[in-house]
Amino acid sequence: MKIWLDGALQDVESARVSVFDHGLTVGDGIFETVKAVDGRPFALTRHLDRLTRSARGLGLPDPDHDEVRRACAAVLEANPMPLGRLRITYTGGHGPLGSDRGDHGPTLVVALGGTTRRPDTTAVITVPWTRNERGALTGLKTTSYAENVVALARAHQHGASEALFGNTVGQLCEGTGSNVFVVLDGEIHTPPVASGCLPGITRALAVEWTGAKETDLPLDVLERAEEVFLTSTLRDVQAVHRVDDRELPGTPGPVTAKAMRIFDERSGEDLDP
């Protein structure tokens, strides 16, 4: 296995990042997860644009898109696989043991791992913790992910693959690594970015391609929605068959099934929409 670290491919066994890297010591970093099909990344331009938005939100230097593209291409060529999770990590670099940054410049890592196609349906739970829609990191895809780790572990304990958060004013927000959509009276709705959710790449494409409406939704909409589905880089569009103790149909409902077909067709036609 080969990874890209600071300008070159390296063997995964010998590649090293400093123990003083700010991404490790204080979570001062950002990342993107990109789906790779037969060695080709999906929606890479959108992911790089969001990487830059996240960098600016943290006050990091803009990542060099040409370098990141070269790194992605080199890693994909060195590690052929039918379906992969391409991970781009960009941190504050070597720094002091505190919140102040050093002056060594950022660290760039690109790595690839194999994955499999997700099931058509899944179970989710809601959790008692909230997203802060007014926080400094809101809308940024940062490496400060421990809150998601805790929530996802609880989901797994309850036989679910995802945990859903509300925000501080009781609105539906997002999952630990996904965006959430609901069907009401046959129409698709998803929380707006103002709710505090991450502006997901797959979310944006699903909104464009299905005509979904961005709507402020109370968290309890999950108790009455006709259908619920998730979107993310590795899920694409995935139906939900259980929310907490509420059982929904075991197969994708008609609106979700149509959204799944549309996404499969459109993403198959253009790998960089």
* CATH number of the CATH domain containing 225: 3.20.10.10
For the entire predicted model, the pTM comes to 0.95
Domain boundary among 114, 130, 145: 114
48 and 125 fall within a common domain: no
Question: 């008692």: which residue's tokens?
Answer: 128
SS3 assignment for 252-268: CCHHHHHHHHHHHHHHH
- Domain with residue 65: its CATH number is 3.30.470.10
Q: Which residues span the domain enclosing 166? A: 121-269
Neighbours of 52 (CB within 10 A): 19
Q: Are residues 146 and 250 in the same domain?
A: yes
| 103 shares its domain with 217 | no
Provide the edge-to-edge strand list for the sheet that holds 107-114. Answer: 8-11, 2-5, 107-114, 83-91, 29-37, 40-41
pLDDT values of the chain reduced to their tens digit, one per residue, 273 residues: 999 998 999 999 999 999 999 999 999 999 999 999 999 999 999 999 999 999 999 999 999 999 999 999 999 999 999 999 999 999 999 999 989 898 889 999 999 999 999 999 999 999 999 999 999 999 999 999 999 999 999 999 999 999 999 999 999 999 999 999 999 999 999 999 999 999 999 999 999 999 999 999 999 999 999 999 999 999 999 999 999 999 999 999 999 999 999 999 999 999 999
